Structures are given as C-alpha cells and as structure tokens.
Amino acid sequence: MKLLLLLPIVFMSPLLWGQISIDQTDMPSVGDYIPRKSDTMTVLPGPGGSGPNQTWNFTALSNYVITENTTVVSVASTPNGNQFGSSNIAMTNDNASYLYFNKNPQSFSTQGISGDLLGTGVINAVFNPDLTLHQFPRTFGSSFSDTYGINVTVPGQAINPLISQIQFKRTSLVHDTTDAWGQLTTPHGTYDVLRIHTMEVLSDSIWAQPLFPPTWTLVSTSTDTTHSYSWVGKGGKLAIAEMSFDTLGLPKIFKWTELPGIGVGLEETSLSKISIYPNPCSNQVCIQNFNPEEISVFNLYGQKVAVEKMAMPSGTLLTLEALVKGVYFIETTKDQVKQKTQIIKE
C-alpha cells in the first residue's frame, strides 16, 4: 500500500533567470480545482541533473494519458474530517477518498488519508506523527528529514472468513532535498522550478487476528527504499510535475499539472509592475505604462510565436490577430529583469 504515491507533493536563460522560492501562498487553498494528467506507459528518461540552472524537458510522452482532477475542499465538508483534527484543508480526486493537510506559514504537512483503500470499507489512516511535505521558505539547497507512522486495523473476513481483523503498520523516514533549480517543460508549458528529491526508507508489517484463538500473529514484514522527484513552481498549487519509479528503480509514472503557474524572473516582487489590458483579449493587448527592452510571446508548449509590436505613449501594443484562441505568456525584459504574464485570447 504505497500511500505516498497518493500524495501530491518560468523560463530561464543561463545568465538572466534567477531561482525562485516557495512559500505557503504557492500551496492549494479551499476552492481550488487542479487539473492534472499522468503517463504510465512511456519509457521515460531519468530525472536529469541536479544543481543550479538546469533544464528538463518531458514532452515525449505516450498517447496513453490519464486525467486526474484534484479538488480542494474544507475538512468540515468531508465525511471523516473529525478524525484529522489538525488539518485545515482536504483534497479529493473522486469525492470518496480524501487526503488531509495542514497549511501554515512555516510548513505544509499531511495528516493522512480516509477512504476505502483495501475494498473492506472506509479506513481512516491517520499519520502519527504527521509527514512534512514542505518547510517554508523552500529554496535551492534546503533539506530536512521527517518521520511518520501508520497503524490501521480493518475487518478481516472480507479477505479470509477465518480472520477476524487485519492490522497494517508502517514506520518511515523521509529525507527531502531541494537539489536543483531551472527550467522545466511539460506537455502543458514551461516553468521556473525548484526540484525536490525525496528518499523514503520504510518498514511495513501485516498482522492477523484469527477468529480463534483471537491472538495477533505477524504475517509478513517488508522494507524498502524509494526515490521520487517533484518540480515545484510559483502558484503551482501541487507540484508542476512528479516522477516516481518502478520496483527496478526505473522512471515509470510522470504526472504534470495543467495549471499555468506564475512566471518569475530575478525579482518576484516586480511581477506587480506589469499591467496588461484587456485580459482576456481578442486581437490586441496593451502593456500599459511600460515599454520593455524586449518582448516575446510564448504558447503553452513554450514555443515562441510571432506578433506585431508597436510602441505607444501609453505603453506597448501587441497585435494578436495571427494567433489562435488560447492561453499565452508575454515575456518582457527590462533592466535585465525578465517577467512573464499570462494572457488569454478569446
């Protein structure tokens, strides 16, 4: 039962793009709807290099893609939220199973999962202690270790009519390292990201209690070490992308978000200086009161598209008549600071 697989866990040129930092404002909030997709069929390349100013391109995927839409809801709205007292948000993909989290200015952690995980009825798998997923601010080079435990008991007769109860126990040590920053390209777009390498050392045991004699007996034990990678970006809510591995240690599952995220350059605080109007737009858009040194427009695949530009007293006018309807990013450069702003052409 690989519970961590259920967890969730921008554009750089070599000299001008800076690394980002992640805080609680980049995490999900109640009311968010997060469309995601995953590919389990492609023979993926490895996770790529670590260190500063990396580039990763994961666009060569198979046609077998699974859609996974995550909804963020209040704990009170879930059937078993009272079992997860320290949680302040919950997430679900199917309105039947729920993951529970605590988000605060210092960290983002998970308290466990509730749902019919084994086909034996609803299980409330409360983590004790809970598991830290992020410490804020998350920056390149930051690292931490954490432990969590699970101890759940379920009816056993659905599995074996002679078994009264079955107990699953897990103890785990998780080591988290922000080992790289750079530019990530997925099938949805290109992002400034931090990459996280997560190593988990886990020990599982399964116990059974027969109808007679009603004495707990150890059935099996196992230990394992797993590795996974995730790429996080500003405004990404969940990870921009995640890569997990099969039992042979080969990349097997690649999952990515279909949210645009927020493009950032050297100074995150300078994002508010750009005002684009109208947005959404039709055939023209104006970068108001701002005449950057360079302007580029990219589609969701990170491809640069051609548009006409005209300097005006009120800013810069872009003509978008040649572009099809959709989401684009306007990249501006001024005083060696790059910024990207999303626009929608209707």
Cβ atoms within 10 Å, residue 45: 13
Q: Which pLDDT belongs to residue 198?
A: 97
Q: Token pair for residue 138?
A: 């998350």
Q: Which long-range contacts (CB under 8 A, 24 or more apart) does 113-122 make?
A: 113/3, 113/6, 114/78, 114/79, 114/80, 114/83, 114/84, 117/1, 118/1, 118/154, 119/158, 120/154, 120/155, 120/158, 120/159, 121/154, 121/155, 122/79, 122/80
Q: If you search the block for the tokens 């599995």, which residue do you land on?
A: 159
Counting as low any pLDDT under 70, the low residues of the chain are: 1-18, 261-274, 300-302, 335-338
Instruction: Report whether 106 contacts 136 (CB < 8 A).
Output: yes
Instruction: Report whether 128 contacts 152 (CB < 8 A).
Output: no
The one-character DSSP state at 239 is -
The architecture of the domain spanning 268-345 is Sandwich (2.60)
Q: Which pLDDT belongs to residue 88?
A: 96
Q: Which pLDDT belongs to residue 183?
A: 92
Note the pTM of the prediction, 2 decimals. 0.72
Strand 315-319 and strand 308-312: pairing?
antiparallel
Q: Which pLDDT belongs to residue 262?
A: 65
Q: Token pair for residue 181?
A: 């920053």
Query: How far is the C-alpha of 71 from the C-alpha of 31, rounded, in Å?
Result: 7
Cβ atoms within 10 Å, residue 67: 10
Handedness of CA 314, 318, 320, 323 (dihedral sign): negative
Q: Which pLDDT belongs to residue 61?
A: 78
Closest among 11, 3, 4, 8 to 338, alpha carbons compared: 11
Q: Which pLDDT belongs to residue 113?
A: 96
- Cβ neighbours for 39, distance < 8 A, ≥ 6 positions apart: 61, 62, 64, 65, 66, 253, 254, 255
Q: Which pLDDT belongs to residue 271?
A: 41
Q: Which pLDDT belongs to residue 5?
A: 34
Q: Where are the domains of the chain?
A: 3-139+181-190+226-257, 268-345
Instruction: Report whether 253 contacts 38 (CB < 8 A).
Output: yes
Q: Which pLDDT belongs to residue 263?
A: 53
Q: Which tens digits make up the pLDDT trace of 290-341? A: 777 788 888 766 678 888 888 877 788 889 888 888 878 787 877 656 677 7
How would you class 87 by CB atoms within 10 Å of its CB: exposed for 0-12, middle for 13-18, buried for 19 or more? Answer: buried
Q: Which pLDDT belongs to residue 201?
A: 97
